Structure 1
């Protein structure tokens, strides 16, 4: 069972086992093609010797036997080469880090540090939410202040109009004008009460006369 070499795969961009397998197939195909070339050379030599007792079938059988012998030796040597490749040539030492992994070595942290950072993140999130709520409340209050400011503007405009009217009527003191207006309003209210009382009395007298 082959050991997975994940970091080596990440480092080289291919799996070392795949590389070894391709080398194995390439060498095996090369040996097989080489034996066929040798076989063809032997057959051509036999054609020049008609008296030879060696047939083409004998040559093919000899080629197969030699191929079996060579393949056994090749596989034995290749297993040693595979071990060398996987443990030495295609093996990434533990002290070698990929560029994207160096940050983990520089900023390594334990579970306790992670829990602490997580708590700080949660606290910051809570603080952020509180600040968002406070900002929304301030914005709502600002809108209310804009409404009040608009109403105050209307009142100031009204006061300016009243001051203009007072000046046009020869009264330059706005406070005195208000005192005068309040007194006039009280006098008008008194007059309205007297008129109402007289009206009620007159209405009562008329009703009594009709009854008689």
Structure 2
């Protein structure tokens, strides 16, 4: 069999020429075996009792070996002819999908530059995808925060409605006063704690 990969031919035919030739070889060989089996069966019937079946089998095997040797020689010539004349694409022939390469040729330096440009574009694309994912994640967080804020505002609105129902004035003003009172209480509590600490220290000194 040919050792030439014949990749261009495989691209055109959709199969490697060597595979085609191998299938033809196997098909012929199988057919030869089947024919000899039929011949052997006929001989066994015709010569029943006259010749030992083992002798017929030996003759069949010798004839098969003889036929196979001659078939291999014939097939080698047929393979060379088919691979060179039928399943071979001449070097000066371009497939339709490859004609664009003939129109737009580029040097090795230009090809490497194009590869580098492609690599940079791929990196840029990956960076943009990562940025987009980060923005989408941040948008989801903002949606969650917005939902929590809306819940909080709804609670304040409900509290304000309750205050109005019970005759309390402006809820916002009441909340501001409550906040101021809370700060004052914290300051008083802090002052009391400091005085208490000071009194304990004085007691210890005495």
TM-score (norm: length of structure 1)? 0.49
What is the CA deviation profile of residues 83-121 of structure 1, one whole-angstrom value per residue up to 9, with x for unaligned ones? 11211111011232222101111222334xx649x59xx
Larger radius of gyration: 1
- The match for 1:20 is 21
Q: Is residue 4 from structure 1 mapped to residue 44 from structure 2 by the alignment?
A: no
- The match for 2:83 is 86
Quote the Cα distance in structure 2 between the aligned partners of 1:115 and 1:84.
40
Q: 2:51 aligns with which of 50, 54, 78?
A: 54
What is the CA deviation profile of residues 145-169 of structure 1, one whole-angstrom value per residue up to 9, with x for unaligned ones? xxxxxxxxxxxxxxxxxxxxxxxxx
Q: What residue ranges of structure 1 are gaps of 5+ in the alignment?
A: 123-212
Quote the Cα distance in structure 2 between the aligned partners of 1:106 and 1:85.
31
What is the CA deviation profile of residues 70-91 of structure 1, one whole-angstrom value per residue up to 9, with x for unaligned ones? 0000111111111112111110
| Secondary structure in 2 matching 1:14 | coil
Deviation at 1:39, TM superposition (A): 0.8
Q: What residue ranges of structure 2 are gaps of 5+ in the alignment?
A: 118-206
- The match for 2:104 is 107
Structure 1, 99-108 or 20-29: larger mean CA deviation: 99-108
Deviation at 1:65, TM superposition (A): 0.4
What is the CA deviation profile of residues 154-209 of structure 1, one whole-angstrom value per residue up to 9, with x for unaligned ones? xxxxxxxxxxxxxxxxxxxxxxxxxxxxxxxxxxxxxxxxxxxxxxxxxxxxxxxx
Count residues with an aligned counterpart: 116
- The match for 1:98 is 95
